[in-house]
Structure 1
Amino acid sequence: MKLNEITDNPGATKARIRVGRGIGSGKGKTGGRGVKGQKARTGVAIKGFEGGQMPLHRRLPKRGFTPPSSKNYNEVNLGRIQEAVSAGKLPADAAVTIETLLAAGVVTKRRDGVRILGVGEISAKLAFEVAGASKSAVAAIEKAGGSVKLLNVVAEAAAEA
């Protein structure tokens, strides 16, 4: 076998349709484009245009507002943190930060930080350094002998000074 003798299997390829080659071809004259108008011409793709009718994206009502400076926190319950401590994934002597929670597999992405919620029980004495915490979470952590340091409060106070 030589390189110039290699061919496809019979029926593996089809010849392309040659448009605009006479009425007998079935794709003659207008070449499958219909008749007249802007879209019969080349280089036209009008996204969302409905022929002068008010487009759908302008007919539907717009609702709500998304603040550009909103924060997206990882919300972690106290019960989940206690499970990680009990399983030995989270060290009880080190400060609980976003990095330690990522390493322990409690959260999967950094996002804008961690917010601790008060669902569940905690018995470990932990020092938290997080973006936010609910009042019930702070009360439960301090009852267990731990402490909470809010990072965003520190950053905002430094920005104002």
Structure 2
Amino acid sequence: MYLHSLKPAEGSVKNRKRIGRGAGSGRGGTSTRGHKGAKSRSGYSQKAGFEGGQMPLQRRVPKFGFKNITRVEFKAINLDVIQALAESTNETVMNFDFFKAHGLVQKKDKVKVLGRGEISKAIEIHAHAFSGTAASSIEKAGGKTVAL
């Protein structure tokens, strides 16, 4: 085998269609665009969602409700998860970096502690928000809630 004898695999290379190069080419005349109409003309472009004058889908489908642009999305962490972490790590202070290190939240998340489960250790928890039941359970166990 030599460099000058290398060729692409059989059938892997195709010639491009030479459109509009005379009647003898088989692709002259209408240049594969069909006969007349807007689509055969140069400069034709159709608006996105245009359905030939029929009422477009995005206008047929009813709209309702609204998106609240001031809504704050929280990442929920329940007390049973915190209790399991406390037992496995023996930590008494849990902050955002601790939750991030254990894969519960990501960098841009806001944390809200919710009240599912029970907590038996006195733990100081730093979070952006607490539900009422979660806060009372943490205080009852001798812990402390710190809002970020």
Q: TM-score by structure 2 length?
A: 0.84
- Is the Cα contact below 8 Å between 1:115 and 1:130 reproduced in 2? yes
Task: State the Cα RMSD in Å.
Answer: 2.2
In 2, Cα distance between equivalents of 1:80 and 1:138: 15
Offset of 1:71 from its aligned partner? 0.7
Residue in 1 that maps onto 2:85: 84
Residue in 1 that maps onto 2:73: 72
Residue in 1 that maps onto 2:58: 57
1:46-105 Cα shifts (integer Å, max 9, x gaps): 2111122221111111121111111111001000011111111x722x3x2222111122
Offset of 1:13 from its aligned partner? 1.2
Unaligned runs of 5+ in 1: 152-161
**Percent identity among equivalent residues?**
36
Offset of 1:38 from its aligned partner? 2.3
State the aligned residue count: 145
Residue in 2 that maps onto 1:134: 131
Unaligned runs of 5+ in 2: none
Cα gap change, 1:37 to 1:6, in 2 (>3 Å): same
**Structure 2 residue matching 1:87: 3-state secondary structure:** helix
- Is the Cα contact below 8 Å between 1:74 and 1:111 reproduced in 2? no
Offset of 1:43 from its aligned partner? 4.3
The one-letter code of the counterpart of 2:75 is: N
Residue in 2 that maps onto 1:99: 97
Offset of 1:112 from its aligned partner? 4.1
